[in-house]
Chain A
Amino acid sequence: MILDILTFIVLGIMTGGVYALLGLSLNLIFGVMRVINVAHGEMLTLGAYTAVLLGIVGIGGVALPVVAAILVVTFAGLVIARVLLRPLTIDGRVHEQRGMVMSLGLSLFLSNAVLAAFGPDYQRVPGIMARGAIEIGDLVLEGQRLVILAGSIVLAAALMLFLRFTLVGLAIRAVGENPEAAQANGISVPRIHLITFALGSALAGAAGALITPVTYAFPAMGFNYTLYAFITIIIGGLGSVWGAVLAGFLLGIAESLSVIWLTTGYNAIVGPGLMLLMLLLRPQGLLGRRLARA
């Protein structure tokens, strides 16, 4: 029993890494542009299908698909931010409702475009260590899941260091705090919006390339990840960076552990249930600031 619990916790930490990465990147986009990006999961889908395409040509492994996914989705993110979101931006913030509906349209468009291009079937990609596993006593750690966890942590840490220690990172945070003051200090707000959206989307794309060897890719995969990214940032607190990381791991563990008490199928209720509970009891999230309402 204790081993079971331990196994589920470890599994939870591994999925939690992906939730944390998705929550972190969605939070970055929301924090700077104030856009409710319902198409965030579709960025993950694009990354996953980049890995699928590479797999078809015979390129596997971890690094190459992830780098390729980052490049492809960065480009997609730049185009989306420039063409679709900039016209909706007023005073350094994207119009709340139009931005949300725009991302709904984008999500509908992208998931069905992938469906038209690749068909409804699950697509497999060869992972580098898919066959390997590490055993610690009776605890079995699958190699591929460890790769996902390590990749998520590296990417999340890279994002945080970038935001904390570079000039562009500083500019991004400044625009997030107050776009008008940032503009007054010589920061180009539209350019920061472009960079932020591309960066956040690229991280979701990288997550897509990382998880595909385990979860496979299918056209509608994005929606559920969008939902879980939102659950993560609601639990952690909208706008809170560390909150997203903490909430991602907590959500992963809670969902994984719930299998012990809930029958399979029903355990999917944990995520939305926790989100609803947080919204009712503590809308600012675990680590969010009080003013994060409305």
Chain B
Amino acid sequence: MTAIAPPTRRAKTAPLLWVGILAVALALPAVATNNFVLHALTMSLIFAILAASWDVLFGYAGQVSFGHAGFFGVGAYGSAFFSYYAGLSPWLGLFVGGAAAAFFGFIVGFPSLRLRGVYLALATLACSEMLRIVVTNWVPVTRGTLGFNLHPGFPYVPHTPIAHYYVILAGAMLSIAIMYKFAARSRVGLVLRAVAADDIRAQALGVDVFRMKLLAFTVSGFFAGLAGALYAHFIQLVTPNETASSLTILIIAMATIGGVGTIIGPAIAAIVIHFVTEMLQIAGTVFDKIAVGLVLMLFVLFLPRGIAGLVRKSR
């Protein structure tokens, strides 16, 4: 029943590939001089963190989260509140947002003690929906549907789209590398996969299954929240829309198309999908989300392991 990642082998070409990707990412603003294109690229990077963080939970620990929009929202609002109400640096706010979402993930992960599969997914959905209702209605604090706007974006950094792109590129690269290291290249990641494969057997072998699940929820929550905090200071406006479950659906679509259980696959798919749909919007179509839905269905039918599965097979 699972989407556990088979142990990945380190390819010899890998370091070269990473240097190449990094070079392209660093050079992109030179090519993409249009502000709208740069904005779309920056947002794509935020989605990449989100899709990868969903994959930590599903692709490695085997836990389905329908609540990622909630994690993202806690990070965005947490960071915004911290810099607005406490008047402290947004740079610190990024970590506060991440920490707040990590704590939210920890709480949301608690039902995993008793619940599995669908039941757990619905519990996470309930938490995320309740959060959305609170931030929509708690007008004195969140300003409700008008949104919470922040004046300074990132201090000490020039207020230009290119600078913002580099800030978020650094955040995304670092986050994804850490998640990859944590889930795919560490002993803890190996134990997580054992929990996903068969938690009863893992328990019998001495694994504290509940603690491992909570750890996965906390880590996934932290990075989804960090994405939210980056978003809040980049867009400088947080609205309850950021906690809507349609965002979660989009994240799951990106992760599935990229190939769950690889971290990198969901991240790259998120970048491509968000960027292409944004470009479709410039072209004036309303078919962008229809296309994502259609592509997702085709992948589930014909390529359930996603793009990453295709790449792996061709090796």
Contacts and interface: CB of A to CB of B under 8 A. Distances in A.
Interface of A: 36, 38, 84, 87-88, 95-98, 100-102, 104-110, 112-113, 115-116, 220, 223, 227, 230, 234, 238, 263, 265-266, 268-269, 272-273, 275-276, 279-280, 283, 293-294
B308 to A, nearest CB: 15
Contacts of B111: 276, 279-280
Given A97-B3, A101-B256, A102-B300, A108 B119 contact: no
B20 interface: no
Nearest to A268: B133
B1 interface: yes
Contacts of B256: 101
A268 B290 CA distance: 29
A96 B290 CA distance: 23
Interface residues of B, number: 43
Contacts of A101: 252-253, 256, 296, 300
Query: Which 6 A-B pairs rank lowest in CB-CB distance, beginning with the nearest?
Result: A109-B293, A105-B296, A108-B293, A265-B137, A112-B289, A276-B126
Contacts of B304: 98
Contacts of B227: none
Contact of B1 (A96, A107, A112, A268): A96
B159 interface: no
A223 B252 contact: no
Contact of B118 (A36, A102, A106, A268): A36
A283 B115 contact: yes
B137 A230 contact: no
Given A101-B252, A263-B137, A265-B136, A223 B245 contact: yes
Interface residues of chain B: helix, strand, loop or mixed (majority): helix
A279 B252 contact: no
B152 interface: no
Interface of B: 1-3, 64, 111, 114-119, 121-123, 125-127, 129-130, 133-134, 136-137, 245-246, 249-250, 252-253, 256, 286-287, 289-290, 292-297, 300-301, 304
A223 B300 contact: no
B297 A227 contact: no
Nearest to B110: A280
Contacts of B300: 88, 98, 101-102, 105
Q: Which has the most chain B C-beta neighbours within 10 Å: A104, A113, A116, A269?
A: A104
B290 A109 contact: yes
Nearest to A275: B126
B293 A273 contact: no
A279 B137 contact: no
Given A105-B253, A272-B129, A279-B126, A87 B116 contact: no
Contacts of B125: 227, 230, 272
B122 A279 contact: yes
Contacts of B1: 95-97
Contacts of B134: 266, 269
Nearest to B113: A280
A294 B198 CA distance: 12
B130 to A, nearest CB: 5
Contacts of A263: 137
Contacts of A113: 290
Nearest to B287: A116
A294 B64 CA distance: 13
A87 B303 CA distance: 12
Contacts of A84: 297, 301
A128 to B, nearest CB: 33
Contacts of B249: 38, 104, 107-108
Nearest to A281: B114
B116 A294 contact: yes
B204 to A, nearest CB: 17
Given A98-B304, A112-B293, A279-B119, A272 B136 contact: no
Contacts of A280: 111, 114, 123
Contacts of A100: 64, 118, 121
Contacts of A265: 133, 136-137
Given A96-B1, A97-B64, A113-B290, A104 B130 contact: no
Contacts of B295: 105
B117 A294 contact: yes
A84 B298 CA distance: 9
Given A105-B294, A266-B137, A276 B253 contact: no
Nearest to B245: A223
Contact of B119 (A38, A98, A272, A283): A283
B115 A106 contact: no
30 contacts: A38-B249, A87-B301, A95-B1, A96-B1, A97-B1, A97-B2, A101-B252, A101-B253, A101-B296, A101-B300, A102-B297, A105-B253, A105-B297, A106-B297, A107-B249, A109-B293, A112-B287, A112-B289, A112-B290, A223-B245, A234-B119, A265-B137, A272-B130, A276-B111, A276-B123, A276-B127, A279-B126, A280-B111, A283-B114, A294-B117
